[in-house]
Chains A and B, each alone.
Chain A
Amino acid sequence: MDRLINQIVKRTLWFMAFGIVVISSAVRAELVVEVTKGSDEAQSIAVVPFSWSGPGRLSTDIARVVSADLHRSGQFKPIARDKMLSRPSTQDQVFFRDWRVLGTEFVVIGRVEKSAKGVYQVEFELLDVLQGKVVKRGSAAGKKLRAMSHYISDVVYEYLTGIKGAFSTHLVYVTMEWQKDNKQLFKLHHTDADGFNDVVIFTDAEPILSPSWAPNGRDITYVSFEGTRPGIYIQNTLTGKRQKITGFPGLNSAPSFSPDSRKLAMVLSKDGNPEIYTMDLSSGRLTRLTRYYGIDTEPSWSPDGQSIIFTSNRGGSPQIYRVQLASLKVERLTFEGNYNARPSITPDGRFLVMVHRRDGVFNIAVQDLVRGSFDVLTETTLDESPSVAPNGVMVIYATQRQGKGVLEAVSMDKRVKVRLPSSKGHVREPAWSPFLY
């Protein structure tokens, strides 16, 4: 009960920050998303409460979810509901003058109905105030109002920015809590990208790390020390079904699905030291890609599936290399500073995102693979585990605040910063899902 009250209080405070108070159903959110720095060029938008033809109130306020999504992107300034001069839900109810007065550039309106079978039908329009007309309309049908709300956010975001929205995506992350007897408890969480619908999908006293997604957006792979030795697992996030993939002597580390889902890149030290392998998932056959007596680790696929980038200390300090799968030819990609690790390539293939050390401090950095420019995105001291959103706009990563592991996100252009405080333990190892549709 205390927990429930905490949740309600926390969420109420959160919504008050928007100038809105709501007491709502028990949709759980361990993570709360706060924008700490929005874009200077954020667009003004009004998401008007959707009309509802049924009895009572809906369990989800669609307009509020859409508004929060757009706010969270840092690229929009949603107008507070109590400032709205009118609350149209159909096109003929819209008086553009009401919105011009407020300096609103865009307005979202919509309507919700429920069919006899319990399916919600939502219709919505995006209006351009300056042009005085509807510029986009759409509809959604389903039982999950939050998911439908995120879909609306995706449509609006894509129309206004030209970039596919990632509001419907999911996250997995790991928490570690110290128990009374100085033992640890690790939990693998699955959540919507806005922190709601947080579900613990695996719990163990032994470490859990390196979660990452399959291209289907349902399966994840990770390392668990279940039974006190590391193994690589694949788990279906919907059914919870788990399968152990490897349990070789030594390291079983850093699994990563190939873009065609057929293979898993991984690190094994069964042959003496950490080397990069791929495993064909249908046959279980292993292919060794590297041969070096030091450390090769953290493999990640290029979007075209033709090469794998990884971290190696073969040059004397950890740097990022690329191996071509066809030729096994290896080239070094990073030369900035003496510690670059945990690489990943953005979905467009353009940027290399990594953990970079300078002056003894670890930050998230990005290297333009075309122009060669190098940019540090973060400012804290122990930043790690960067994971890029499928639309390439934001990077979520783990850091520490007041000795506690927390998640934060930053836009690739550094204009937007988001913090995701959690009520639970040390938060780490975020992994952003692919697009789900």
Chain B
Amino acid sequence: MAIFNRNHLLALIAAAAISGCTTVPDNTGNEQPADNTVSESTGASSGVASGIDDDSMTVSSETVGNGSSVGVDVALSITTVYFDFDKANIRPDAYAALKAHAAYLSTNAGAKLRLDGHADERGTREYNLALGERRAKAAASYLAANGATRSQLEVVSYGEERPAAMGASENSWAANRRVELKYTAVAP
């Protein structure tokens, strides 16, 4: 058990998106909860979900690692946004999550985010690489429009090569048309 203020929780949730997640508890656990960090966090809260009132709370690192049962900042814990078939426009159901990440990036200039664009298996592989990139770029543009800096963002497209769900069904396809947000650096 460890006690983190809200800013650190956000950082942890965000960092949980980093592939592997193994370094996250160490990095953050070594940080001292300085007062100025807390105030920064408060400043950021306007763009983040509104349900947070306490400045500190108790969580276990395991819960944070799962990024699911925290139940505090749902929007920021969402690290995958989905797209319609052959489309790259951001759907309204992704606005809240992307705005939360944009706010986090805006207040944490050292944070860096990689956006991995994906497509479902239908259509040719190279066309789907292009489609995955358009999706990731659309998400990056949305983040930039909401406060993130372009230099914080990197776009990579995997096309249809890394499916999240297998099988030739509408459900699998819908799960595969996505952009995954992965923090490659969190705020110091």
Contact = CB atoms under 8 A, between A and B. Distances in A.
B51 interface: no
B130 A342 contact: no
B55 to A, nearest CB: 37
A297 B166 contact: no
Contacts of B162: 184, 207
Interface string A326-348: 00000000000001011000000
Contacts of B157: 230, 250-251
Contacts, number: 83
A400 B126 CA distance: 18
Residue of B122, B130, B158 with most partner-chain A CB within 10 A: B130
Interface string A259-274: 0000000010100011
Nearest to B114: A228
B131 A311 contact: no
Contacts of B166: 403
Residue of B133, B158, B161, B162 with most partner-chain A CB within 10 A: B161
Interface residues of A, number: 37
Interface residues of B, number: 23
Interface in B161-180: 161-162, 166-168
A191 interface: no
Contacts of B129: 209, 230, 251, 253, 297
A251 B134 CA distance: 11
A298 B168 contact: no
A254 interface: yes
B130 A250 contact: no
A385 B125 contact: yes
A388 to B, nearest CB: 16
Contact of A254 (B122, B126, B131, B133): B126
A397 to B, nearest CB: 11
A207 B126 contact: no
Given A207-B161, A225-B158, A341 B168 contact: no
Contacts of A295: 127, 130-131, 134
A157 interface: no
Interface in A162-204: 176, 184
Interface in B141-188: 154-159, 161-162, 166-168
A273 B156 CA distance: 12
Contacts of A297: 126-127, 129-130
B50 interface: no
B124 A385 contact: yes
A107 to B, nearest CB: 45
B123 A253 contact: no
Nearest to B127: A341
Interface in A359-383: 362, 381-382
A341 B167 CA distance: 23
A318 interface: yes
Given A207-B161, A362-B122, A400 B127 contact: no
Interface in A222-269: 225, 228-230, 249-251, 253-254, 267, 269
Nearest to B157: A251
A75 interface: no
Contacts of A273: 134
A408 interface: no
A384 B133 contact: no
Contact of B127 (A229, A250, A311, A428): A311
Contact of A229 (B156, B161, B168): B156
Nearest to B163: A184
Nearest to A310: B126
A430 to B, nearest CB: 12
Nearest to B137: A273
Nearest to B134: A295
Given A209-B161, A341-B123, A403 B168 contact: yes
Given A229-B156, A230-B156, A382 B127 contact: no
A382 B120 CA distance: 12
Nearest to B154: A249
A298 B124 contact: yes
A252 to B, nearest CB: 10
Contacts of A251: 129-130, 133, 157
A381 B162 CA distance: 20
B121 interface: yes
A109 interface: no
